[in-house]
Structure 1
Amino acid sequence: MASPLQDDDGIFERLRKQNEDPKVLEERQQAVNERIHTIYQKAQTRLAELIDQNSTLPCTISSVQVLNASHTRKGFLEKVLSPLLSSNKDHPYTLAEALQEVGACTDKLHKFDIFQQPISVYLDKPSQTDPSTTPTDLDVYLSVKERSRFLLKTGTDLGNAEGSAYANALWRNIFGGAETLNLNASLGTRTRSAYQATFETPILSDPDFRFEIGALASDTQKSWASHEEVVKGAWSRLRWMSAAGHRHELGLNGFWRQVTGLAGNASPSVRENAGDSVKTSISHTWTKDQRDNPILPTKGFYAKTLSELAGWGPLKGDVSFWKSEIETQAAVPVPIPGLKGDSGISFTTGFRAGLIYPLGMDSNSKPQLSRINDRFQLGGPTDVRGFRISGLGPREGPDALGGDVYAAGSANLLCPLPRVGADKPFRLQAFVNAGRLLALKTPQGASPTSPQEVRESVASTLSELANGLPSTAAGVGLVYAHPVARFELNFSLPLVLRKGEEGRKGLQLGIGISFL
């Protein structure tokens, strides 16, 4: 017969084993988490009901304070936050309006990229001993945590048919006004070396209105045209976003380019462009992006235009032209009859086109024909799939010379992988894409030598784009949308090729952030 002491020992042993059982511990933790979540949900519901019941009550914001922003200038923050104060408003807030304005203000602070998320917001009543306060006054406190001011990063990059190793140094919030200095150095398979420094600052404490200056030195191997290009230069840019969400960028650019390192079999046209060239230009970029995902869109549209004026009027250099490009993309989800919710199937289309219009320099009205540095290149895994890099357009011997006018389009059907699901970043795709790249030629097939001939050559070259079928390829492939880049492995089959163009039948790997 067991003694009472032995019975107690057995009970304690069973309790100890129960406490050590991973399954029991997991169930207890899950129950605790569910209880906490329920309490949180009830608190949020009560808070929402309380705010809703008092949403029309009048209130005034008497002060706004930012806590823990030790490296950020007070004057910089005042420009951001002063519109919140009721003294700067022509009518009082309701509680709902005040909360909405505070939320918009914290969103604005996030855009400067100097504070960690989230920014905590606290509301309090001012001291009743202050005779200047009123019963409707509220004090707003924003508790922030500043992001690290210094960041040093090294790694490797894959994109746009190139691999590289890089080192990047970032100095954030330099003078306490969200200024940023970014230094970057990289060595790659195609861009042999690149060194870049940029300084950016917001204007008038507006995160959507920024000024940037930068400098660049790079050495790029262009094997498709039997040469290397060395570029050194600087730029200044003004960026802003309109109330409708349109992004603009206005730039002044100055670059010294060298076509050097010619291969032994370089064509006469490439040799003619060898040596130094200086370009000074102004540029404007407009962008509108309403896609749900820029890397793998399933709905929405994207549009971008780029205009550049070089070597005209006060702009100096030895090249003179007007260059314009347009890029669009649209995506629509494809519903499946009988299937509720998102099927994960989408249909996307893309279109790109560009034109270089030669201009005269200074008092010389004779147009300056485009150089190989400035011409468009077309073909490769990130634009017209099924062709080699720069495989479309005018050629001379082994070299792709580029062109002055181009147009390219694509249509893609993307489907989720079986047994993977629509929420995963993997897709099967079927595509067809096409394009043409042409040099400016007069109706007689010669290069233009006068403004009149330039106008005629532009008209005849644009009409030639629609003459016959464009160079076309189709295929199927696998797409993986990583947060920083898109990976495509496609099997492509060229369907239409012109004389001299280089197709790519078989597997083709594309890595980049912008695909046709």
Structure 2
Amino acid sequence: MKAGSRFLNAVSAVALSAGVVSSGAGMAVLASAAVAEAAVIQRIEVRGAQRVGVDAVRSNITIKPGQSFSNADIDESVKRLYATGFFSDVRISVSGGTLVVSVSENQLINQVVFNGNRKIKDDKLRGFVQTQPMGPYSESLVSADIARIKEAYAAIGRSDVEVTTQVVTVAEGRVNLAFVINEGDRTKIDKITFVGNSAYGDTRLASVIQTKRSNMLSFLTRKDVYNEDKLRADEEALRQFYYNHGYADFRVISSDVALDASGNEYAITITVDEGQRYKFGNISVESTVEGVDGADLERLVETRAGNTYSARDVQKSMEAISRRVSSAGYPFARVVPRGDRNFENNTIGVTYMVDQGERAYVERIEIRGNTRTRDYVIRREFDISEGDAFNQETISRAKRRLEALGYFTSVNISTAPGSASDRVVVVVDVVDQPTGAFSVGAGYSVGGDGLMLEASVEEKNFLGRGQFIRVAVGGGLQSSRTYNFSFTEPYFLGYRLAAGFDLFRNETSSNSDYKYEETGGTVRVTAPITEELATTVRYTYKELKYTEDGAYGADGLPYTGDDSMSAPYIDLIEGSPWRQSIIGHSVVYNTLDDRTMPREGIYASFTHEYAGIGGDSEYYKVYGRVRYFQTLSDELDLVGSLSAGAGHVVSTGDNLNVFDQFQIGGKDLRGFETNGIGPRLNGDPLGGTTYFTASAEVNFPLPALPQDLNIRGSFFADAGTLYGNDVSNSAGVVGTDMSMRASLGAGILWLSPFGPLRFDYAVPVVKEDFDKVQNFRFSMASSF
């Protein structure tokens, strides 16, 4: 009886205090002043659940018949019911031995539409909102969706977007929801100001950060969109820039952003403290790991006493030492740099300490934030996997690789404790970004096709698999046509082998006498040797067709009636079509800091080819090129470069064909036409067996133009020669001797949204009478 009395007393206390008080805000509390002892109910009664169903309500209640409960259980039950999103009001009360749950259902969404949106299409907006058709209508969810839509518009530079909603009842309990969007104008960036900088001017620092001032092309580049996360990344880019140029004490003091509502423009002010510039002092390696001699590791160090301090060189040295020690059987060894500042002579001595780190293993690699890129594409950039020894240098290297892919706007790698003290969880947070591109390029050839155009579509993360696809079509106003298709799988068969193929077709009219057609394909595999060195093996097969005036006779054979044509070209037409079967091997060394606009580093390539596995060509060919970049003045952003190239081909059969020999000019030797120098017969270029080229150039930002336009000027000097001839039936050839040519010129380089464009004007200062001159050159091309 005592137990029954306690139950009745508890229930009476609840009933006398008016049961449960509920509010539309989504919270209900048991109104009893205190339930001294836990109550027990015998049954649960649900009221108002018409569409959702009684069972769905009961499943979200923590209170069970025959079990004691308290105010905390009622609070938790109310929270769970509201969290489903199906209810606008929830009330829980006790009547006798019955728990009464009264709910008011939210209306169901019949349709979700977007009105007024032009810059962001409906399908993309649907991906941002969580309110979905046949789901419940929730004021809190709709408010959150409005915030997400505004964030999406802010990401494209429209921070003043206005979003409202319209709700229309279409049937009992069903509504249509419309998000009404007033996109407003683009929010621009009026100015970016740096305060506290003396070593580098505003123009130089502006080239380091990704955020740019608004200009006439900002609608294409979208670099004038303000974003807080982007600004934080710009701060980090400034830190790395200064750290790599000797300023180890550099700090970003503040980044202030002000919005001018009248002009809808941001003004960004970044205040910095540069500190002193340091050089490296004494460099040494010490080891506390038994069996590892620090002196033997010193040759791996890239930092040298007397050089300008660079955090990048310190990091590279740490990674090189870590790889060597790990490969020697010490997977848990860690490398820690210890700096010794000398403020009197502004030097930093670095001692690389190698010690035995804590034994820790990777329990798992957790990837978050990737909405498009597949997990395995991210995982394969790690040199470790689950169960391997944890190594911080390996994690740092994976981060750089992921950033270099260009698939993500941000990459952050952190660690969390695992299930045991010696287990570590590696957490990878990424944010996908668009990786497709459509570009239109233009060039101009004097004496050739005149204006030339190329349109291309490429995707470097196809279907989130990390595969590269490119389709390009180009042509001139007269008869030149080019068609190209490329595909690359960067991890062939699960290995770090970039395998792919290229298909191509080119049609050109070299002069008024003949037409040239080339059709073929290449299969290639590239393997990295180190982070900076890679090797490629390729096989190419192509068919070359020469026809006079591009015409065929009545018999279906190429027409060859023009006796004024050079004998080798008559032979080419009569022997058409020709076939080449070529196997080649290349080695590339690349230390450039930026592939698009390098300021420091070396790019070198060496290739050798053998033709003769079938086909009409039989030769062995070697050629290569190296280009060195160095910043001459950081303050003026003055960049110098030196380059040199050479090649030689020898016949492994009877003679070489015209198309087997080297042809240079144009981009290799500005001021001359493509195929403008070297051996010729009756004005026709035959090519040569050997060539040498050299070039010196300096480029700089044009002072009268905004730096954000990425337009730079240049002065250059080119020199080179093409000589030797091994083509049969070529009596009377001129230009076979090793005569040098040279030119001087100036140019404009525009890093446009369509790719790098060059406008060069060069004047030959040393040439032969039979050379073909082309002073002006306008092309879309990279320096490599």
Which interval holds the TM-score relative to the shorter structure? 0.5 to 0.7
- Assess, with a 3 A threshold, how the Cα gap between structure 1 residues 500 and 303 changes in structure 2: closer, same or farther: same
Q: What is the aligned partner in structure 2 of residue 287 from structure 1?
A: 588
1:473 aligned residue: 743
Residue 674 of structure 2 corresponds to residue 389 of structure 1:
yes
2:569 is paired with a residue of what secondary structure?
helix
- Aligned-residue Cα RMSD (Å) equals 4.3
Q: 2:530 aligns with which of 240, 243, 251?
A: 243
* Identity percentage of aligned residues: 16
Map 1:429-468 to 2 at 5 A.
429-440=714-725, 464-465=737-738
Shift, 1:298, TM fit: 4.3
Closer/same/farther in 2, CA of residues 254 and 30 from structure 1, 3 Å limit: closer
Partner of 1:400: 685
Deviations for 1:286-314, whole angstroms, at most 9, x for unmatched residues?
Answer: 22233445555544333221211001xxx
Higher RCO (Cα < 8 Å, 6 or more apart): 1
Q: Evaluate the alpha carbon distance shift between residue 249 and residue 411 of structure 1 in structure 2; reply closer, same or farther with a 3 A threshold.
A: same
Q: In the TM superposition, what whole-angstrom CA distance separates every residue of 1:331-378 from its partner, at most 9, and x where no partner exists?
A: 44446xxxxx53434443222221111012xxxxxx2x2222232222
Match of 2:472 in 1: 184
Does 2:650 match 1:353?
A: no
SS in 2 for 1:378: coil
Equivalent position of 1:370 in the other structure: 656
Contact 2:373 2:461 (8 Å CA) reproduced:
no
Q: Report the more deviating stretch, 420-429 or 214-223.
A: 420-429
Count, aligned residues: 422
Q: Tell me whether 430-439 or 321-330 shows the greater mean CA deviation.
A: 430-439
Residue type matched to 2:409 in 1?
Q
* Other-structure match for 2:43: none
Match of 2:183 in 1: none
Q: 1:234 aligns with which of 521, 529, 544?
A: 521
Helix, strand or coil at the partner of 2:408 = coil
The 1-side partners of 2:438 and 2:267 are apart by 40
Deviations 1:200-257 (A, max 9, x none): 213367785211123222323323x843221222221011222151122110111111
Counterpart residue identity of residue 351, structure 1: A
The aligned amino acid for 1:300 is G
> Which residue, out of 492, 498, 511, partners 1:210?
498
Three-state SS of the structure 1 residue aligned to 2:660 is coil
Q: Tell me the equivalent position of 1:40.
A: none
Matched, 1:322 2:620: yes
Q: Distance in 1 between matches of 2:535 and 2:608?
A: 12
Distance 1:293 1:72 in 2: 24
SS in 2 for 1:301: strand
1:495 aligns with 2:765: yes
Q: CA distance change for structure 1 residues 290 and 69 in 2, over 3 Å: closer, same or farther? A: closer
Q: Normalised by the size of structure 2, how large is the TM-score? A: 0.47
Identify the range of structure 1 (325-334 vs 425-434) with the bigger mean alpha-carbon deviation: 425-434
Deviation at 1:490, TM superposition (A): 2.0
Contact 1:71/1:173, CA 8 A, preserved across alignment: no
Residues 77-156 of structure 1 mapped to structure 2, 5 A cutoff: 83-85=384-386, 87-89=387-389, 93=390, 97-98=391-392, 100-111=393-404, 115-121=407-413, 123-126=415-418, 133-146=419-432, 151=436, 153=438, 155-156=440-441
Say if 2:619 is the partner of 1:308. no
1:57 to 1:490, Cα distance in 2 relative to 1, 3 A = same
**Match among 354, 366, 377 for residue 65 of structure 1:** 366
Deviation by residue 1:19-65 (Cα, 9 ceiling, x = unmatched): xxxx99749x9999999x9xxxxxxxxxxxxxx9xx97765432222
**Alpha carbons 2:628, 2:642 under 8 Å: kept:** yes
Match of 2:779 in 1: 511
* Secondary structure in structure 1 of the residue aligned to 2:658: coil
One-letter amino acid of the counterpart of residue 399, structure 1 = D
State whether residues 713 and 746 of structure 2, in contact with CA within 8 Å, keep that contact through their aligned partners in structure 1. yes
Over 3 Å counting, the alpha-carbon distance change for 1:429 and 1:324 in structure 2 is same
Report deviation, 1:500. Answer: 1.5
Q: Is the contact between residue 367 and residue 375 of structure 2 (CA under 8 Å) also seen in structure 1?
A: no
Structure 1 distance, partners of 2:258, 2:690, is 70
Q: How far off its partner does 1:134 sit? A: 1.6
- TM-score calculated relative to the size of structure 1: 0.68
- For residue 413 of structure 1, report the CA deviation from its aligned partner: 4.3
Matched, 1:259 2:546: yes
Q: Structure 2: how far apart are the matches of 1:350 and 1:125?
A: 51
Aligned equivalents of 1:317 and 1:411: distance in 2? 39
Q: Distance in 2 between matches of 1:81 and 1:253?
A: 33
Q: Could you say which residue in structure 2 is the equivalent of 1:272?
A: 571
How far residue 69 of structure 1 moved from its aligned partner, in angstroms, is 4.8
How much does 1:447 deviate?
A: 7.6
Q: Distance in 2 between matches of 1:78 and 1:351?
A: 39
Q: Do the aligned partners of 1:108 and 1:207 also contact (CA within 8 Å) in 2? A: no
| Cα 1:359–1:105 shift into 2, 3 Å | same
- In the TM superposition, residue 434 of structure 1 has moved relative to its aligned partner by 2.2
Letter of the aligned partner of 1:302 in structure 2? Y
Aligned CA distance change for structure 1 residues 166 and 496 (closer, same or farther; 3 Å): same
Provide the C-alpha distance between the structure 2 equivalents of 1:287 and 1:266, rounded to a whole number of angstroms.
Answer: 40
Where does residue 457 of structure 1 map in the other structure? none
Partner AA of 1:119 in structure 2: V
Secondary structure of the equivalent of 1:283? strand
Q: Distance in 2 between matches of 1:424 and 1:70?
A: 32
Residues 378, 384 of structure 1: 8 Å contact kept: yes
1:221 and 1:124 map into 2 onto residues whose CA distance is 64
Q: Are the counterparts in 2 of residues 157 and 164 from structure 1 also a CA contact under 8 Å?
A: yes
Post-superposition offset of 1:322: 0.7
Provide structure 1 residue ranges, at least 5 long, that are not aligned to the other structure: 1-22, 38-51, 127-132, 336-340, 361-366, 449-460
SS at match of 2:409: coil
1:456 corresponds to: none
Amino acid in the other structure paired with 1:511:
S
Rounded to whole Å, the distance in 2 between the matches of 1:425 and 1:76 is: 33
Q: Which amino acid aligns with 2:400?
A: D
Instruction: Pick which of 59-68 and 253-262 moved more.
Output: 59-68
The verdict on how the C-alpha distance between 1:143 and 1:374 changes in structure 2, with shifts beyond 3 A counting, is same
Letter aligned with residue 118 of structure 1: S
1:482 to 751, 755, 765: 751
CA change 1:392–1:205 in 2 (3 A) is: same
Sort the Cα spacing of 1:261 and 1:144 in 2 relative to 1 into closer, same or farther, 3 A. Answer: farther
Q: Secondary structure at the match of 2:475?
A: strand
Matched, 1:342 2:635: yes
